Structure 1
């Protein structure tokens, strides 16, 4: 069996201060961070112990994880396990990158977000180019606020052509955006329109809960991040038995890490095997 896992432990702190983010510049105590490290170590041990299954993992922390060495070490360890096909992480790319050389870079991927209100473009770009030079797979992206259009346009010019630059739609702001703004974002990211919808999902089939699950620091399994009811726990002996077809219970799904798994959207044809790290197939041709 191959299972994709979206892992989110108890880390909720970040070194950036983006105004729209509830975790901006939030700090955690040494005890809280030690708990997150312990949870992560237990999770990786569990992956290693389940050699009969193959795994792809995307870390989706509430905050910035790669400034902590235990997440760097986690990616090193995971990518070198024979039963891990991929280990990816969402990051603001503010950490040093020398650790990637200890990873199996054929399995490593980064989902790297540019925050122009918090970091200079040159700094973010230099990090992207270092990943590119080190031959690490990554997608780059930014939240689609019109005030950042100039920075976004310049970043697109400066990034290598084969690096996908995605735009996250600020859905509550879409009604107030001009046609020119929307056309600009689509010119930068041809897939931008996909991210502008609240997709009908109630009673629709979804891979979530069957071949994709969300796991928290205590090992609780959920279909996805957006349905709070647990379906089991990976640390229980019968954890595989809870996996199966389920219809979505939410009215809509509007976040990329959720709706990409809705069967009727067929977005696996758009992203292929790079669906976790948000790299479309067309960028690999």
Structure 2
């Protein structure tokens, strides 16, 4: 069968400290890092030996690619014939030379630019390096007002084929004019602007999409705590079936992209995990105005 797996191990440390980040914050101890490495290696062994056709998305609480075991695991898994896609969410702070060991037809990166955490030119240089290497990737920014001018600059500087996505900031309400400015950069921003009513609606999670933690506990997705079984003893298999969402709303892309009532599997055909649309959306990007010049006569 075709199975999509979202893996999130115990890793929670990050080299950034974004004030808007909803993820856990901690400095992992040596013991915690060892545990995360062991959990990831166990998952990789399972994936390597699976008889399913797998699509894998790594969504760590922290930043995975600064850890050698994540880089090595992604590169190794990318060469296996039964793995259709292996993707990871990253702030792109790591070096990129390890990508030479990966299969660019299988590996993909979901990259987020965090203004204030890394110099703009450094982030852009890494994006251009990905493009030069032929690595599939999307690039995005959290849609806060203070990020708008840099997002416009990023859209102007990125290769035209690279999709720039905008995430609605958690808990933020967008007035129409504000939303229009973000939609000018990302025509798919309206999908992120409002939480999606999901209660009782059919969703692929729990049937062809599952979430797995470092212990191998399987859930339908990261946002529904009910357990379906364990990955490593195979007990989850009997629980896979079509099912409706039990939550009132779904407000995260890695969740609502799987709702059957939304057209996003068609929009992102071939790039669901790495958030790359099948066709590059036309943008109405406004010209970049340096922050120092904003409001100048």
Q: Same fold (TM over 0.5)?
A: yes
Supply the distance in 1 between the matched residues of 2:193 and 2:23 (Cα, whole angstroms).
Answer: 24
Tell me, yes or no, if the aligned pair for 2:228 and 2:236 is still in contact at 8 Å.
Answer: no
**How many residues in Structure 1 have an aligned counterpart in Structure 2?**
282
Supply the distance in 1 between the matched residues of 2:218 and 2:24 (Cα, whole angstroms).
Answer: 27
Partner of 1:110: 109
Partner of 2:183: 186
RMSD in angstroms over aligned alpha carbons?
1.5
Flag the structure with higher helix content. 1
Partner of 1:265: 262
Partner of 1:44: 44
Supply the distance in 1 between the matched residues of 2:84 and 2:176 (Cα, whole angstroms).
Answer: 41
Secondary structure of 1:218's partner? coil
Partner of 2:144: 145
Partner of 1:205: 202
Which aligned pairs between 1:1-285 and structure 2 lie closer than 5 A?
1-21=1-21, 23=23, 26-50=26-50, 52-174=51-173, 177-283=174-280
Q: Deviations over 1:143-170 (max 9, x none)?
A: 0001111111111100000100000011
Offset at residue 171 of structure 1 (A): 4.6
Secondary structure of 1:131's partner? helix
Supply the distance in 1 between the matched residues of 2:97 and 2:220 (Cα, whole angstroms).
Answer: 35
Supply the distance in 2 between the matched residues of 1:104 and 1:147 (Cα, whole angstroms).
Answer: 37
- CA distance 1:178–1:201, shift in 2 (3 Å): closer
Supply the distance in 1 between the matched residues of 2:85 and 2:140 (Cα, whole angstroms).
Answer: 20
Supply the distance in 2 between the matched residues of 1:164 and 1:170 (Cα, whole angstroms).
Answer: 19
Structure 1 portions without partners, runs of 5+ = none
- CA distance 1:284–1:42, shift in 2 (3 Å): farther
Structure 2 portions without partners, runs of 5+ = 283-297
Tell me, yes or no, if the aligned pair for 1:15 and 1:26 is still in contact at 8 Å.
Answer: no
TM-score (norm 1): 0.95
- CA distance 1:207–1:178, shift in 2 (3 Å): closer
Offset at residue 24 of structure 1 (A): 7.5
Q: Deviations over 1:106-125 (max 9, x none)?
A: 00000000001211111110
Offset at residue 273 of structure 1 (A): 1.8
Supply the distance in 2 between the matched residues of 1:34 and 1:178 (Cα, whole angstroms).
Answer: 46
- CA distance 1:268–1:105, shift in 2 (3 Å): same
